[in-house]
Amino acid sequence: MLQFSRIPRFVLFLIPAALAASITFLGVREQKSSTGQVAGVSTGPAQQASASLLPVEVQHVPFGERSLDRYFVTAGVMVYPEDKVRSIPPLEFGMGGEVIIERATPVKVFDANVEHLYRTWQVTLAALLQEKQVSLGEMDAIEPALETSLTPNLEARITRVEETELKLIESIAYETVEKEDPGLERGKTRVEQEGALGQKELTYKVRRENGKEVKRTLTTTNVTRQPQKKVVAKGTKTVILGEGIATWYGAPALVAAHNTLPRGKKVLVRNLSNGKTVVVTIVGGGIKGRAIIDLSPDAFAAISSGGLGAGILNVRLEEP
C-alpha cells in the first residue's frame, strides 16, 4: 500500500499545476498589423485568421521527453516558422502528453515565373502580398484577383509588365534617275551625281511581360537626313558604223556577216525605208559583192516590208 506521506508536498502540488498549465506556443512568428496598398487596392490591417485551413495535427510525446525540437527531429516531423505549436502539458515537466500543430496556409506565388512558397495566416491574397512585402507596379497583373480568399496550395501568378521607349536609326534608300545626254554615245552611261543614303530615327513603345518583349508599336518617325538622288546620264548620240545594202543568207537566228567588224560584236541594223531595226551578232565575214552586211533570214525578215522576197535593203549600221 502506497504511503502518500512519503511523497513531498511540493510534488503533490506540482502535478495538478502542470496539468492546469497555460498553453505554450512555440515557433510562431509574431504577426504584425500593417496597412498599405497592393496594386492600388487598399488592404487595411493584416488580420490573423482564427483557425488553420488545414487539419490540426496531434503528436503524442513519450514520458521523459523535455525538448520539443529534439522530439520533432526524432519523430521526423517538419514544422515551419509560421506554424503554431502547443504542448499539453508543457514538455519541460517530462510527463509526456500531446503536441498540437496548427499549420499556416501554404500558397505558391509565381512572381515573373519565379516560384515562391509562402506560409501565412492571412485570409486574402492581397493581405498575403502585404505581409510578405511583395509589391505590384501599376501595370502589373495578377491571377487570381487580389480579393481572392486563400485556400491551401492556392497558386497565384504575377505578370510583371514594363513599357519602355526604344529609338532605332534606319537608312533611307536613295532614288536613281536617268536623263538623256545627246552628247554621249548611245549605249553608254555616265554618273553625274552619286547617290547618298538618308537617315531616319524611329521611336517605338515596347511592352515586356516578365522581361520578354510581347509588343512593339511605332510611335514617331523623324527624318534626320534626306537621301540624295543618284543621277545617271544615258547617251542618245547615234554612232554610225556604216550605210549600204543588206542581203540575207542561210544562217542561224539573229546573226550577220560583215567583212570588217569583229566577231561577237552587236550591231543595230536600221532599214532606212521604214525605220525598223534589229540587233544582230557578227559571226564572220566573207561577203562578196556590194552588200555591207549579210543578215540571217529571220533578221532580214524582221526589218523588211516585203519579207525575204525583197532581196536587198538599204540599211544603216549603228551601235546598239
Domain with residue 304: its CATH number is 2.40.40.10
**Same-domain pairing of 218 and 269:** no
The answer to whether position 244 is within a domain reads: yes
CA 293 – CA 273 distance, rounded (Å): 16
pLDDT of residue 50: 42
Strand ordering across the sheet containing 24-26: 24-26, 84-88, 97-102, 57-61
> Is residue 80 included in any domain, yes or no?
no
294 in a structural domain: yes
pLDDT confidence band for 60 (50 / 70 / 90): very high
Q: Which of 210, 235, 260 is the last residue of a domain?
A: 235
Residue-level pLDDT at 15: 37
- What's the whole-model pTM score? 0.57
Tell me, yes or no, whether 175 and 147 share the same domain.
Answer: no
* 96, part of any domain: no
Range of the domain at 277: 239-318
266 shares a domain with 246: yes
Using the 3D structure, point to which of 214, 235, 256 is the last residue of a domain: 235
Place of cell 521527453: 65
Q: Do residues 225 and 170 both lie within one domain?
A: yes
Q: Are residues 224 and 285 in the same domain?
A: no
Domains: count for the chain:
3
Domain assignment present for residue 25? The answer is no
Q: b/e for 121-150, b at 16 or more Cβ within 10 A?
A: bbbbbbbbbbbeebebeeebebeeebeeeb
Question: Residue 20: how many CB atoms within 10 A of its CB?
Answer: 8
Helices (DSSP H) in the chain: which residue ranges? Answer: 9-19, 68-75, 125-131, 297-303
Span 126-182, pLDDT tens digits:
999 999 999 999 999 999 999 999 999 999 999 999 999 999 999 999 999 999 999
Residue 267 lies in a domain: yes
Mean pLDDT of the chain: 85
**CATH code, 179:** 2.20.230.10
Q: How far is residue 20's CA from residue 13's CA, in Å, rounded to a whole number?
A: 11
**b (16+ CB within 10 A) / e for 266-285:** ebbbbbeeeeeebebbbeee
Is residue 226 domain-shared with residue 274, that is, in the same domain?
no
What values do phi and psi take at 16, rounded to 5?
A: -65, -30
Cell numbers representing residue 195 in the block: 547617290
Query: How do residues 7-55 score in pLDDT, each as one tens digit?
Result: 333 333 333 433 333 333 333 333 333 333 343 333 333 334 447 899 9
The whole-number average pLDDT for the span 102-113 is: 96
45-58 pLDDT, tens per residue?
A: 333 444 789 999 99
Q: Which CATH number covers residue 125?
A: 3.10.20
246 and 310 co-located in one domain: yes
Domain assignment present for residue 44? The answer is no
The last residue of a domain, from among 141, 160, 179: 160
Are 97 and 106 in contact by the 8 Å Cβ rule? The answer is: no
Q: DSSP letter string over 25-37? A: EESPPPP-----E
Domain co-membership, 226 together with 253: no
